[in-house]
Amino acid sequence: MMWPDRGGMTIVADRVELTERIQRLKAARSAVILAHNYQPSEVQDIADDVGDSLELSRIAAETGCRVIVFCGVDFMAETAAILSPEKVVLLPAVDARCSMAGMITAEDVRELRRRYPQAAVVSYVNTSAEVKAESDICCTSANAVKVVDSLQNDEVIFLPDRNLGRYVARFSRKRIILGSGYCSVHEHYTRQHVMQAKRNHPEALLVVHPECRPEVIDLADHVASTSGIVQYVCSRREQEFVIGTEIGLLHRIQRICPGKICHPLSMEAICGDMKRTDLEKVRLSLERMEPRVSVPEEIAIRARRAIERMLEVR
């Protein structure tokens, strides 16, 4: 958020006041604030829970609160709305969209099913509700290998992320038919970024997200979802890491294990849509109880099946 340039103390005071207003509204509305690991620091700091897509969808399914304020992008709020149709789901940044989710349509899925009638369809949660409704099961970066393994089919259509699909294929004996989507934030990393980071920080371990290109994954010490990266960094005795995912995760790591030294693989790895949320938008969403996210019931019923099937995979 752009804070008025009136000196550090005032900025802090504004932020404190805004945070208090959000807390009061949250209590009055019986709301929970969920934030993805890539959210701006100020948003992570006021959230009740911060996590990866899988953790947040589990919390959204289980929360007793009447209202869910989803600080993230469109597909995350949609997933919460599908899982909890009786709740009000607010997306403070209404225009926050995952560009990868826009790379596949429900008609694309139907066409692939016609071409590969024996194959199961696994959709990354980074998809629209319509795509989920056409899928057998969803997955996230935290459980993709387990989800594919849980299927009886020998052939799997994996959509839309080609990089996550290729990563899963490394561990699976199934024939994986790949989508052609990608995340531009992770696709941005190249072998050159890795080589430069290794020169700059020769002692550091490289940890990357599975949305990275195969050539980057090949050079990594560990590959995991956003929360998996946090757990890895915190659990290792090594002190220094290079982090190959969106830079918002660095704040999360710093909060949970402040002693570690983490370098971004690239300072340019920023998801602009994840950064659309700010404290003022969170406050406004709670005050006005909008923008609301809802999914038509006939789509939600089918999409829910695919998400719940994923949540059953442990």
Q: Which is nearer to ligand 13P, 10 or 231 (CB)?
A: 231
DSSP 8-class letter at 200: H
Q: Taking the complex as a whole, how short is the minimal distance between the CB of residue 109 and ligand SF4, in angstroms?
A: 18
Q: Tell whether residue 141 is a contact of ligand 13P (CB under 6 A).
A: yes
The single-letter code of the amino acid at 34 is L
Nearer Cβ to ligand SF4 (29/276): 276
Smallest distance from the beta carbon of 152 to ligand SF4, in angstroms?
29
CA 96, 41, 78, 117 torsion: positive or negative?
A: positive
Among 211, 230, 247, 262, binds ligand 13P (CB under 6 A): 211
As a whole number of Å, the CA-based R_g of the chain is 20
Judged by CB under 6 A, the stretch of 15-23, 114-122, 140-148, 191-199 that binds ligand 13P is 140-148
Q: Which does 239 bind (CB under 5 to 8 A by kind): ligand SF4, ligand 13P, none?
A: none
Taking the C-alpha atoms of residue 57 and residue 60, their distance in angstroms, rounded to an integer, is 5
Least distance from C-beta 38 to ligand 13P, angstroms? 7
Name the site residues for ligand SF4 (rule: CB under 6 A).
73, 98-100, 126, 183, 185, 246, 271, 273-274
Minimum CB separation from ligand 13P for residue 162, in Å? 14
Residue among 53 and 84 whose Cβ is closer to ligand 13P: 53
Residues making contact with ligand 13P (CB under 6 A): 37, 52-53, 126, 140-142, 183, 211, 225-226
